[in-house]
Amino acid sequence: MSTPNRSPRRLATLAITLASAFLAATLSAVADPSPSPVQADNPIVQTIYTADPAPLVHNGRVYLYTGHDEDGSTWFTMKEWRVWSSDDMVNWTDHGSPLNIDTFSWARQDAWAGQAVERNGKFYWYVPVINDATGRNAIGVAVADSPTGPFRDAIGRPLIDNAEIDPTVFIDTDGQAYLYWGNPNLWYVKLNADMTSYSGSPAKIPLTTQGFGTRPGGTDRPTLYEEGPWVYKRGSLYYNVFAAQCCSEFIAYSTAPGPTGPWTYRGTVMPAQGSSFTNHAGVIDFKGGSYFFYHNGALPGGGGFTRSVAVEKFTYNADGTIPTINMTTGGAPQVGSLNPYVRQEAETIAWGTGVETEPASGGGMNVGWIENGDSIKVEGAAFGTGASSFTARVASATAGGTIELRLDGPNGTRVGTCSVSGTGGWQNWANVTCPVSGATGNHDLYLKFTGGSGYLYNVDWWQFTA
Ligand code: FUB
């Protein structure tokens, strides 16, 4: 989100301020008609550009693994992967970057599309990178004890080294794990139970037009299959949702009676939309709903190399086919509500305006680069019979400012005002508490940040008292 001669921090403020108008303009043709721009929850992340979503459901939360398109990119310039999580599909917590190119000593560049999976309490993240020794695409596997990392290189070398990209991992109901990947081919291999080695040799899934559709004018590539497979099973049916045709890509899918086929082409999931010539799918079920993750170029400055991850809720047709899903600004509805009476990380955000995040000295992340007029929307806070006070963990190397607590909009009813003083450093943390009145029932909560000029303060977490 930066351009020459402007501070990225300041430009982020401008960019996000423009987001609502931009989103409304670019996606109006396909947008859910109900949400006003200020209610927009897509794209999921407003603080950086994100791409190549890979959602994972674990212990009642969705963990969302993404790539990170660098500001101002003119190529797939990607150095790290990022993790986000949510238990309600609208308020997303930023877990920073627990995996980057340097995690793999043998890798050079291109932190592209991967996927993480859990097995026996460990989390395995399969990612494509350039092998420094060969200059070719390879696939590495990282492992962690937690879905948010930190991740380490599991084997110290490429797991797969055949110049192709975009791994997806799937563990069948019989316990057999499969790794699929490829562009221009579609490969698979059976992973061993350790998830870091495999049996047999990688095999090609035949790319037939019966299995993967017919590419108009396709000569080198007769089928629609391009890249980005996402393989999963629903009931007894296996699905492969993939990026089709190039370019622009759309999302298509095939089904099969078994994990390796034979595949039958089933048609379009998401048409080519949204200002990015690539798209990349991730599909999950969560708390009784089905969700489709994808990316587009919907943030200001967004495009084919500055993408953003978004999500839509959908319902399978009775015969198991997937309906056509369009990009919206509204995103998925909230599942449940947010409890404002437990500690909430400041980087748990439904929609942020002007702010960014960074690693906090005490662990986790904090919100920073806060300037006068910036705000954070936290959706669907359940205040119940009423809040009496608000506490926030703050730090400021300047004179601080004010946190205004507002309901249902950045200029909505003010239910509290907290003063923040200088603490002597951006990571010198202190608590501030202020009285709250009039916060009852369910509301979108806006933390509106006001004060003088320049950066005001950082926020690590906040919590209301009932
Ligand atoms: O993000 C880099 C590449 O773009 C991914 O590996 C592909 O799936 C496409 O989204």
Phi and psi at residue 308, to the nearest 5°: -145, 140
- Check if the beta carbon of residue 39 is closer than 8 Å to that of residue 21: no
Span from the CA of 134 to the centroid of ligand 1 (angstroms):
20
For residue 114, the number of C-alpha atoms closer than 13 Å in the C-beta half-sphere is 30
Does the C-beta of 390 come closer than 6 Å to ligand 1?
no
pLDDT in the model for residue 213: 98
In a domain, 320, yes or no: no
Residue at which a domain ends, from 264, 292, 314: 314
Q: What is the mean pLDDT of residues 135-150?
A: 98
Is there a single domain that holds both residue 118 and residue 252? yes
Phi and psi at residue 16, to the nearest 5°: -75, -30
Percent of the chain with pLDDT over 70: 91
Residue at which a domain ends, from 261, 295, 314: 314
**Tokens read off for 88:** 């309600």
Span from the CA of 74 to the centroid of ligand 1 (angstroms):
14
pLDDT above 70 (res 15):
no
| Confidence tier at 217 by pLDDT (50, 70, 90) | confident
426-440 pLDDT, tens digit per residue, is 999 999 999 999 999
Ligand 1 atom having least distance to the Cα of 51: 1
Structural domain containing residue 161: 14-314
Output the domain CATH number for residue 78.
2.115.10.20
Output the domain CATH number for residue 395.
2.60.120.260
Q: What is the mean pLDDT of residues 80-85?
A: 98
In a domain, 329, yes or no: no
Pocket test for ligand 1, best of 65, 115, 278 (most atoms within 8 A of CB): 278
Span from the CA of 281 to the centroid of ligand 1 (angstroms):
10
Q: What is the mean pLDDT of residues 193-203?
A: 97
338-358 pLDDT, tens digit per residue, is 999 999 999 999 999 999 999
Give nearest CA residue, ligand 1 atom 4: 278
Cα–Cα nearest to 116, from 107, 127, 106: 127
Alpha carbon distance 100, 77 (integer Å): 13
Is there a single domain that holds both residue 81 and residue 227? yes
Does the C-beta of 227 come closer than 6 Å to ligand 1?
yes
Does the C-beta of 52 come closer than 6 Å to ligand 1?
yes
pLDDT in the model for residue 39: 52
For residue 265, the number of C-alpha atoms closer than 13 Å in the C-beta half-sphere is 19
Does the C-beta of 165 come closer than 6 Å to ligand 1?
yes
Pocket test for ligand 1, best of 80, 82, 112, 295 (most atoms within 8 A of CB): 112
Does the C-beta of 280 come closer than 6 Å to ligand 1?
yes
pLDDT above 50 (res 36):
no
In a domain, 420, yes or no: yes
Is there a single domain that holds both residue 395 and residue 305? no
Q: Which residue has the tokens 């080695």?
A: 197
- Other residues' Cβ atoms within 10 Å of the Cβ of residue 392: 22
In a domain, 8, yes or no: no
Span from the CA of 280 to the centroid of ligand 1 (angstroms):
7
Is there a single domain that holds both residue 357 and residue 282? no
Contacts by 64-68 with C-beta closer than 8 Å and gap 24+?
64/92, 64/293, 64/309, 65/114, 65/115, 65/116, 65/125, 66/309, 67/111, 67/112, 67/113, 67/114, 68/97, 68/111
- The mean predicted confidence, pLDDT, of the chain is 92
Is there a single domain that holds both residue 180 and residue 72? yes
The catalytic position among 166, 226, 379, 444 is 226
Is there a single domain that holds both residue 168 and residue 259? yes
Is there a single domain that holds both residue 364 and residue 298? no
Cα–Cα nearest to 51, from 325, 233, 309: 309
In a domain, 332, yes or no: no
144-194 pLDDT, tens digit per residue, is 999 999 999 999 999 999 999 999 999 999 999 999 999 999 999 999 999
Residue at which a domain ends, from 292, 314, 336: 314
For residue 167, the number of C-alpha atoms closer than 13 Å in the C-beta half-sphere is 33
**Tokens read off for 248:** 């622009």
Percent of the chain with pLDDT over 90: 91
Span from the CA of 229 to the centroid of ligand 1 (angstroms):
11
- CA 213-214-219 angle, 5° bins: 135
Phi and psi at residue 210, to the nearest 5°: -60, -40
In a domain, 410, yes or no: yes
Is there a single domain that holds both residue 307 and residue 185? yes
Does the C-beta of 112 come closer than 6 Å to ligand 1?
yes
Domain count, the chain: 2
Is there a single domain that holds both residue 375 and residue 438? yes
pLDDT in the model for residue 14: 33
Examine the residue annotation and report whether 249 is marked as an active-site residue of this protein: no
pLDDT above 60 (res 11):
no
369-389 pLDDT, tens digit per residue, is 999 999 999 999 999 999 999
In DSSP notation, 365-387 reads EEEE---TT-EEEEEEEE-TT--
